[in-house]
Amino acid sequence: MDQKYIKLFDTYTHGGMNRRDFLDRLKALAGAAAVTPILAQLENNYAHADTISPDDARLTTETIQILPDLNGYLAMPKDAKGKLGGVMVIHENRGLNPHIKDIARRVALEGFVAFAPDYLTYIGGTPADEDKARDMIGTLKPEDVNAISLDVRDALSQHKGVNGKVGAIGFCWGGGYVNSLAVADPKLNAGVAYYGIQPKAEDVAKIKAPLMLHYAGLDDRVNAGMKDFEAALKANKKTYELFVYEGANHAFNNDTNPARYDKAAADLAWGRTIGFLKKHLA
């Protein structure tokens, strides 16, 4: 797909314009007849979200409240021998949707107890309408999101199936909040941020957890802060791995999005991620 459509959609999905303006600009760029087929490629299709069935016999899955009144999705191996590392799965700016639940199941099948919190719980929970979810995400205060993350990390570390070690993996909005959690929480054992906004350079010194950072080569918006972040990580002698996937777009891991999903980049990043988590959460 032409990058001009993908860049326009990225601006829209990250709060740069409302839906009406987005559709008007898309119509102007592509012509009225092309809008519907282009949207079918740009927007997530959760009919294809379940790469791992919610009823997979190898897993135990359930929606639980790991904190009082905070909903989330738990997935863990059914026949685990001994305690496992815990992994928080932090969603994109669309909330706890079917794709993120599927990611939690994928993580669990790799031998972890995965928990995906719904950060929208306290304001009504993740709605089916993605535009509404994005609007709701925009009302959250960073300090409140970080407080939830800290509490979830602590609660997951005490789960009966967890060995006490907890890492976090996040995508887009969630990738940024993995970085924020690493700054805020000295007890985080590992963090994996997919195309996440970076913390302030002066806060990098507070990071204790080893980090794995995945960036898309075509993601100019997020990548604008990448070099300064890496420079601060080096200057503060932090443990990190940083990868840039050339030719890939923001959200390249999201396989419900035909226009931006990049299987080669996603598979490579996933293999690296799982190896990293196994190394640090065993």
Q: What is the pLDDT of residues 190-217, one digit of tens each?
A: 999 999 999 999 999 999 999 999 999 9
Start and end residues for every CATH 3.40.50.1820 domain found in the chain: 55-281
The whole-number pLDDT of residue 47 equals 86
- Report the alpha-carbon distance of residue 255 to residue 45 in Å, rounded: 9
Average pLDDT over residues 49-69: 93
Residue type, 274: I
CATH class of 55-281: alpha beta
CA dist., res. 215 & res. 244, Å (int): 5
pLDDT digits (tens, 9 = 90+) for 206-258: 999 999 999 999 999 999 999 999 999 999 999 999 999 999 999 999 999 99
* Distance in angstroms (rounded) separating the CA atoms of residues 209 and 195: 18
Work out whether strand 59-67 and strand 70-77 pair parallel, antiparallel, or are unpaired.
antiparallel
The predicted pLDDT at position 81 comes to 87
Would you say 139 and 107 are in contact if contact means Cβ atoms under 8 Å apart?
Answer: no
Is the pTM for the entire model greater than 0.85? Answer: yes
137-141 contacts, C-beta under 8 A, 24 or more apart: 137/93, 137/94, 137/95, 137/173, 138/15, 138/93
* pLDDT tens by residue, 146-185: 999 999 999 999 999 999 999 999 999 999 999 999 999 9
Give me the helices (H) in the chain, please.
3-13, 19-30, 32-42, 98-109, 130-137, 142-157, 173-184, 220-223, 226-235, 263-281
